[in-house]
């Protein structure tokens, strides 16, 4: 049996081919998996469980079908869909995980994260993250009418794009938006693990490192902008491949 990990699909109406690829993945390969873990940014944006569309309804139905077929699905919120809530979980049958979360994977303690917490050099983003992850802020935001939430999201997206353009012009985007090596080692040592799986950075790779004086590995999941990316883990090892 194999456990599957994916992240950063950024499902959006503007890229229907990726939605079709994901729905086929749920119908086909995922049906024979031991479990599926989605480590954030399944959606390009999520403004509350009441924000429905044909795309999100199709995803809801496909996830429910997979869970009903006997495959447990766990969901860890990302920086784009941190407002996924209990209504979505109840409707789909997925289990919402905290970020970070330690699981025992075929006998090995493994830390799973979305990955944005590791990007500690991006001070502006970390300040924004702290604000929008505050329960009081979320309660106030979700109490607003959906059009107001949509307007806020559009404004935040425009500001983010402008900031990225500035980082590109200054040739600092790659360094600031990647993980901080010391933060990775400190986090793995704090949780007592030698294997970390995360997404967010869109830089798929398997990195060897040292954490707490022990040999360790950091697996970075790929995004689904142009193709799928899946980590398959079994008792025999793991492989990160494109679909």
Residue 165: what pLDDT? Answer: 82
Q: What is the CATH number of the domain that holds 201?
A: 3.60.21.10
Q: Based on the domain organization, do 100 and 202 belong to the same domain?
A: yes
Q: List, for residues 106-150, the tens digit of each pLDDT value.
A: 999 999 999 999 999 999 899 999 999 999 999 999 999 999 999
Residue 212: what pLDDT? Answer: 85
Q: List, for residues 138-171, the tens digit of each pLDDT value.
A: 999 999 999 999 999 888 888 878 888 887 887 7
Q: Based on the domain organization, do 67 and 104 belong to the same domain?
A: yes
Q: Is 202 annotated as a binding residue?
A: yes
- What residues have CB less than 8 Å from 117, skipping those under 6 apart? 99, 100, 129, 183, 187
Structural domain total, the chain: 2
Q: Is 160 annotated as a binding residue?
A: yes
Q: Provide the domain limits for residue 166.
A: 123-173
Task: Return the number of other C-beta atoms located less than 10 Å from residue 76's C-beta.
Answer: 27
Q: Is 20 annotated as a binding residue?
A: no
Q: Is 217 annotated as a binding residue?
A: no
Q: What share of the chain has pLDDT > 70, as a percent?
A: 100
| Averaged pLDDT for residues 78-87 | 96
Q: Based on the domain organization, do 67 and 83 belong to the same domain?
A: yes
Q: Is 10 annotated as a binding residue?
A: yes
- The H-assigned helical ranges of 69-214 are 86-92, 123-132, 135-142, 146-169, 173-177, 181-191
Q: What is the pTM assigned to this prediction?
A: 0.95
Using alpha carbons, select from 173, 41, 180 the residue that is nearest to residue 114.
41
Domain boundary among 131, 149, 173: 173
Q: Is 121 annotated as a binding residue?
A: no
**Residue 139 burial (10 A CB sphere; 0-12, 13-18, 19+):** exposed
Q: Based on the domain organization, do 66 and 163 belong to the same domain?
A: no
Q: Is 41 annotated as a binding residue?
A: yes
């Amino acid at each position: 049996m194999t456990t599957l990990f994916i992240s950063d699909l950024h499902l959006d109406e503007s890229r229907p081919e990726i939605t079709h690829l994901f729905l086929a993945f749920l119908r086909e390969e995922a049906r024979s998996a031991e479990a599926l873990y989605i480590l954030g940014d399944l959606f390009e944006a999520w403004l509350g469980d009441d924000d429905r569309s044909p795309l999100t309804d199709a995803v809801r139905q496909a996830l429910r079908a997979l869970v009903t077929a006997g495959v447990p699905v766990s969901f860890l919120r990302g920086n784009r869909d941190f407002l996924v809530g209990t209504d979505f979980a109840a409707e789909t049958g997925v289990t919402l995980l905290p970020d970070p979360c330690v699981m025992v994977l075929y006998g090995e303690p493994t830390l799973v994260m979305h990955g944005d917490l590791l990007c500690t050099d991006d001070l502006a983003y970390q300040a924004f993250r702290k604000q929008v992850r505050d329960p009081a802020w979320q309660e106030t935001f979700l109490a607003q009418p959906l059009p107001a939430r949509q307007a806020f999201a559009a404004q935040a997206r425009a500001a983010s794009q402008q900031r990225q353009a500035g980082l590109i012009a200054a040739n600092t985007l790659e360094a600031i938006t990647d993980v901080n090596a010391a933060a990775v080692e400190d986090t793995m040592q704090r949780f007592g693990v030698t294997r970390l799986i995360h997404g967010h950075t869109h830089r798929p790779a398997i990195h060897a490192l040292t954490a707490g004086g022990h040999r360790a590995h950091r697996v970075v999941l790929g995004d689904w902008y142009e193709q799928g990316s899946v980590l398959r883990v079994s008792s025999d090892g793991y492989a990160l491949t494109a679909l």
